[in-house]
Amino acid sequence: MYGMDKNVGSTDKLVRTLIGAVLGTASLATVAGAGPLPAIASPVLGVVSLVMLATAATGTCGLYSLLGIDTCSVSPGETR
């Protein structure tokens, strides 16, 4: 198979999506001046939000690969 194997399970994807959405909202609120955070926090939160959403969408996490973590359960006979 080409590319990285999936290593992000369904519960992990849900948590990543929720965290990504919250961080993205906080980033946009900071840009709009509605958030209590300093302006430098906005791009940081935005990047982390995009990473969380991307790893949830693709089902792969590079850090998990480096650390040998796999939250993706595979039933017998299934492939990733």
Sign, Cα dihedral of 17, 23, 29, 35 = positive
What is the model's pLDDT at position 34?
A: 92
pLDDT, tens digit (0-9, with 9 covering 90-100), for 12-33 = 999 999 999 999 999 999 999 9
Per the structure block, which two tokens stand in for 79? 């492939």
71 Cβ neighbours under 8 A, 6+ residues apart: 7, 8, 9, 11, 12, 64
Residue 51 has pLDDT above 90, yes or no: yes
Global pTM reads: 0.83
- For the chain, the structural domain boundaries read 10-67
3 Cβ neighbours under 8 A, 6+ residues apart: 60
